[in-house]
Amino acid sequence: MPNISKKGQNLPSSPIRKLVAHADEAKSRGVEVLHLNIGQPDIAAPHASMEVVRHHELHLLPYGSSQGALSFRKHLCSYYAQHDISIQPDDIIVTTGASEALSFTLNVICDAGDEIIIPEPFYANYNGFASASSVVVVPVVSHFENQFELPPVAALKDKITDKTRAILICNPSNPTGYLYSEKEIKALIDLAVEHDIFIIVDEVYREFIYTDAPHYSVLKSSKGSEHAVMIDSVSKRYSLCGARVGCMISKNKALMATALKFAHLRLSPPALALMASEAAITAPASYLEKVKKEYAHRKEVTVAALEKISRVKVSNPMGAFYCIAKLPVDSAEDFSKFLLTDFQDQGQTVMLAPAAGFYSSPELGKDQVRLAFVLESSKLIRAAEILEKALEAYSNS
């Protein structure tokens, strides 16, 4: 039989999607599955965005610019200007989701065997992107007990070697909801400049903040302009996950010129999705205000409901729409599987994302799950009720 690449064999499975087969089997038995495992918003996208999809006058879908339509990039510049981020259209490459932006970035800055430092837990696909690019992830542990705040800069500095090419964070964080402060971002920029490496910040959840502290973008610092790469997407902000439109942004001309070569390989981002995304980012400000208010309410509902469950501990997210819960079980993965294969309450169950998959260190996160509060509040309360009953049943099984 022909060989399969070691890189492919070693590619980690997604903790977010690995239990899908069990969820599908539960649904085939007539069980309703409440999905808290994946960050799929249920809030309607901007009306104008969907109108583009429904009523466009295209007779075909042509290739576009590999860099992304200039009109879209100009509108992105206007959006960022509202957040005191000053960039030009040529600082942007539009990508097929934030995923491709991260893949481009790693391939541009890293050769096989190079290293990137990431505070863990982190978005599980960072492991996958790194593995697919033959890049080594060097984790630095952040802790549940202090809300997953940034580890001491000295701990990150200790991990820097001659193979280190970047520090990567998500701000606010998926999966923890932690919001890195201006002081922390500037400390990371200082570290990147000192060691002449990149600082990559995934800012997909920028709009979803639940504290009085503002979001501080890595692109606001002039000191790190040659070292900073920002990753973004319309997916979560405008409920356009399936559009697969994101971007990488940097003022480093050499980096962006090299990234454009990778963009040429995939020709262009998806034309119709780009049109829908452009309509979304020009939507009235009232759209995002309403969305942000709804997620803030869902966050309060979720945390309050989980805190009522005996022996369950939950992080209190400062941003994004995720939280980490510690469960009174030895294996959150086994329990998450149990929810789908062996448990239901009044015809319903819950799908969770085992948090071990968000860590690079194999011994961490085994009793933790990530929950996405992306359902309406009544369903979040119901999910917590099911979780409480399932924990009792699991402990007695």
CATH number at residue 356: 3.90.1150.10
pLDDT band at residue 175 using 50, 70 and 90 as cut-offs: very high
Residues 121, 251, single domain; the answer is yes
Cα distance between residue 321 and residue 236, in whole Å:
9
How much is the mean pLDDT over the chain?
95
Question: Residue for token digits 């005996």?
Answer: 310
Nearest to 166, CA basis, from 250, 235, 88: 250
Give the per-residue pLDDT at 362. 87
Who has greater pLDDT, 228 or 7? Answer: 228
Residues 222, 326, single domain; the answer is no
Q: Report yes or no on 273 lying in a domain.
A: yes
**391 φ/ψ angles, rounded to the nearest 5 degrees:** -65, -40
Tell me what percent of the residues of the chain surpass a pLDDT of 90.
93
Residues 372, 250, single domain; the answer is no
Partnered with residue 136 across adjacent β-strands are 115
Give the per-residue pLDDT at 10. 80
The CATH number for 182's domain is: 3.40.640.10
Residues 164, 102, single domain; the answer is yes
**Structurally, how many domains does the chain consist of?**
2
Q: By the 8 A CB rule, do 227 and 189 touch?
A: yes
Q: Report yes or no on 1 lying in a domain.
A: no
Q: Is 36 helix (H, G, I), strand (E, B) or coil?
A: coil
Question: Residue for token digits 């259209």?
Answer: 89
Partnered with residue 33 across adjacent β-strands are 349
Nearest to 374, CA basis, from 203, 174, 202, 127: 174
Query: For the chain, first and last CA: distance in Å?
Result: 43
**269 φ/ψ angles, rounded to the nearest 5 degrees:** -70, 165
The full DSSP string for 229-278 is EEEEESTTTTT-GGG--EEEE-S-HHHHHHHHHHHHHT----HHHHHHHH
Structure token digits, residue 76: 């992105």
The CA distances from residue 80 to 35, 61, 94, in Å, are 32, 28, 15
pLDDT band at residue 125 using 50, 70 and 90 as cut-offs: very high
pLDDT band at residue 4 using 50, 70 and 90 as cut-offs: confident
Residues 142, 273, single domain; the answer is yes
Q: Report yes or no on 251 lying in a domain.
A: yes
Omega before 362 within 30 of 0, i.e. cis: no
Q: Where are the alpha helices (DSSP H) in the chain?
A: 6-10, 20-28, 47-55, 70-81, 97-109, 125-132, 153-158, 182-195, 253-265, 271-281, 285-307, 332-341, 377-395
Residues 22, 99, single domain; the answer is no
Give pLDDT tens digits for 44-93: 999 999 999 999 888 999 999 999 999 999 999 999 999 999 999 999 99
User: What sign has the CA pseudo-torsion 353, 354, 359, 360?
Assistant: negative
Question: Residue for token digits 């490459």?
Answer: 93
Q: Report yes or no on 127 lying in a domain.
A: yes
Nearest to 203, CA basis, from 80, 359, 360: 80
Give the per-residue pLDDT at 396. 85
Give the per-residue pLDDT at 94. 98
pLDDT band at residue 101 using 50, 70 and 90 as cut-offs: very high
Q: Is 61 helix (H, G, I), strand (E, B) or coil?
A: coil
For residue 192, pLDDT over 90 is answered with yes
Nearest to 199, CA basis, from 152, 237, 175, 165: 165
Q: Is 184 helix (H, G, I), strand (E, B) or coil?
A: helix
Nearest to 34, CA basis, from 315, 295, 369, 351: 351
Q: Report yes or no on 181 lying in a domain.
A: yes
Residues 202, 226, single domain; the answer is yes
Q: Report yes or no on 241 lying in a domain.
A: yes
Q: Report yes or no on 303 lying in a domain.
A: yes
Residues 199, 336, single domain; the answer is no
Residues 130, 217, single domain; the answer is yes
Residues 232, 207, single domain; the answer is yes
Domain containing residue 52? 47-281
Which residue, of 281, 298, 332, is where some domain finishes?
Answer: 281
Cα distance between residue 209 and residue 211, in whole Å:
6
Q: Report yes or no on 176 lying in a domain.
A: yes
Q: By the 8 A CB rule, do 367 and 324 touch?
A: no
The full DSSP string for 236-248 is TTTT-GGG--EEE
pLDDT band at residue 397 using 50, 70 and 90 as cut-offs: confident
Give pLDDT tens digits for 247-300: 999 999 999 999 999 999 999 999 999 999 999 999 999 999 999 999 999 999
Residues 156, 242, single domain; the answer is yes
Which residue, of 249, 281, 313, is where some domain finishes?
Answer: 281
Cα distance between residue 178 and residue 353, in whole Å:
18
Give the per-residue pLDDT at 333. 95
Residues 295, 196, single domain; the answer is no
Q: Is 351 helix (H, G, I), strand (E, B) or coil?
A: strand
Which residue, of 227, 259, 281, is where some domain finishes?
Answer: 281
Tell me what percent of the residues of the chain surpass a pLDDT of 70.
99
